[in-house]
A and B are shown apart, each in its own frame.
Chain A
Amino acid sequence: MKVLVPVKRVIDPNVRPRVKADGTGVDLANIKMAMNPFCEIAVEEAVRMKEKGVVTEIVLVSVGPAQAQETIRIGLAMGGDRGILVQTDVAVEPLAVAKILAKIVEAEQPGLVITGKQAIDDDANQTGQMLAALLDWPQGSFASAVAMDGDKLKVTREVDGGLQTVSLSLPAVVTTDLRLNEPRYASLPNIMKAKKKVIDTKSPADYGVDVTPRLSVVKVAEPKKREAGEKVADVDTLIAKLKSAGAI
């Protein structure tokens, strides 16, 4: 079975984002970028399925600027086989990404698409579910365990009350939650090998998808600041303070 894994280039999760002074967005100039952590988990899951012999080929896709090629290279070093970069400088919204992915699925015919559940920049949590809908495929979102079960895929999902397990016919879309696995670090030999792997460069127009955003950003602002309060010396003082604040 072939697996398609979309990966997104985002701000490094350890970097604190700063809002631009003119309120047009978050300042990404000279900021360290990385693969979205949930996408790393998706790549790792695909590689593990390949190691188990369930998966034969892993195709990585990124929709983004030329530098997103580096993000694909990281995934190739983790164990991906080849990449497709859909290059554009537009900040492509989840709906348009899902449409591009749907076209790539038509061409590549994977049995499974594994996406991260959300990107840590726009926090949208939409692309995987949208792709599943556009393809009329079932979905296992927020997955914490994935296993083949005959010709079905059993997905355990992290839901508000605990865990839910669903059975999906294939092909299907899975979106990853944090506990699905712990992604590996690429070894130096694998990083070297990944440099020789093929990345095809395409454009959204190659897939006939209009990536013009549907949402316009009116402004981006800092959230209300919360000031540090006071240090309390001991438990008795804490209880007294909470009582006078009406909290207990």
Chain B
Amino acid sequence: MAVLVLAEHNNAALNDATAKTVAAAQAFGGDIDVLVAGHNAKAAADAAAKLAGVRKVIHVEGEAFSHALAEAVEALVVPMMSGYDAFFAPATTTGKNVAPRIAAKLDVMQISEITKVIDASTFERPIYAGNAIATVKSADAKKVVTVRGTAFQAVASTGSASVETAAAPAGPFKATFVSEELQKSDRPELASAKRVVSGGRALASAEQFNQYILPLADKLGAGVGASRAAVDAGYAPNDFQVGQTGKVVAPELYIAIGISGAIQHLAGMKDSKIIVAINKDEEAPIFQIADFALVGDLFKIVPELTSKL
């Protein structure tokens, strides 16, 4: 058996999600090749070659890959799949964008956001915002899978696989990249941060979100998250959203501030190791899953916590 893993990277560096997807591919079994499709992405390809358990890295250069356009990645991967039994991608926005195109072209029903590999055709995945865990068995000859990073331990960077180059498919493609607006931050990336501080609707404005949440996050060296309500209201940018349709996180410590705990939010953080909730509403559902609950006014509690840490 052989598995092709799609690397998540920004050309300069490999994203942690790749090492976690390789871990899931190891549980599946067989030889593991990692595809690094990018633009000036040699550094990412070299980093992928160090991942433990990887047979080889296939490095493909092309301008259309600088931002991982789904149309281009599909054109690249589909012909390659004649040599593989499975395609694994991280369940990041890149993986979610690309993998179903590849599955459809291979006439395979994709298995989304797996949290466990049972055997080479059976997987566990959460459904209904994590309120149920389905075990599904695929009847397709080839498997197309996306992997929920929080469920797998990243493989170490102790390997030394070879790096091969392969040709990019000829364009043009029907989609072109125009621009991007990425959040620039020195804080840890939300999806892989060991600690996360999240703010909700109770922050009441973007100014107060920044004034109360960010200093606490910085004191703890934490990533910053937000509830959907806070993002919808414009208090925090979209990529902060934790939940069923946002990011799924499972840090060592998750501090939920002014978040009531709708099931859609809990879906994104309830696998955190320790959950702290700070909320003035004693009845808030977040308290039903919090390890430590502090009832009170966040505008008094958070500055005190920040100064005493």
Tell me the A residues contacting B by CB distance below 8 Å: 11, 13, 16-17, 19, 26, 38, 93-95, 98, 117-118, 120-134, 136-142, 144, 154, 157-169, 172, 177-179, 213-223, 226, 228-232, 234-236, 238-239, 241-242, 245, 247-248
Q: A138-B174, A169-B174, A231-B293 are in contact. Are A223 and B252 (CB under 8 A)?
A: no
Q: Which chain B residue has the least Cβ–Cβ distance from A38? A: B245
Tell me the B residues contacting A by CB distance below 8 Å: 10, 67, 69-71, 74, 92-94, 96-105, 107-113, 122, 126-140, 173-183, 191, 220, 228, 231-232, 237-239, 244-245, 247, 252-253, 263-264, 270, 273-276, 287-295, 301, 304-305, 308-309
B128 touches A123 (CB 8 A): yes
B174 touches A129 (CB 8 A): no
Once the chains are docked, how many angstroms separate the CA of A141 from the CA of B131? 25
Q: A162-B180, A166-B175 are in contact. Are A214 and B138 (CB under 8 A)?
A: yes
Residues of B within 8 A of A219 (CB): 134-135
Q: Which chain B residue has the least Cβ–Cβ distance from A149? A: B178
Once the chains are docked, how many angstroms separate the CA of A64 from the CA of B133? 23
Once the chains are docked, how many angstroms separate the CA of A64 from the CA of B228? 29
A158 touches B239 (CB 8 A): yes
Q: List 21 A-B contacts (CB under 8 A).
A: A95-B109, A123-B112, A123-B113, A125-B112, A126-B110, A136-B174, A158-B238, A162-B181, A172-B174, A179-B232, A214-B139, A217-B135, A217-B136, A220-B132, A223-B130, A223-B131, A226-B275, A235-B305, A236-B308, A238-B276, A247-B274
Q: A179-B231, A218-B137, A247-B274 are in contact. Are A229 and B293 (CB under 8 A)?
A: yes
Once the chains are docked, how many angstroms separate the CA of A188 from the CA of B98? 41
Chain A nearest CB from B159 CB (Å) reads 25
Once the chains are docked, how many angstroms separate the CA of A157 from the CA of B69? 12
A139 touches B71 (CB 8 A): yes
6 smallest A-B Cβ distances: which pairs?
A: A229-B291, A129-B100, A214-B109, A130-B104, A138-B174, A138-B175
Once the chains are docked, how many angstroms separate the CA of A223 from the CA of B263? 13
Q: Which chain A residue has the least Cβ–Cβ distance from B237? A: A162
Once the chains are docked, how many angstroms separate the CA of A228 from the CA of B285? 10
Residues of A within 8 A of B98 (CB): 129
A126 touches B133 (CB 8 A): no
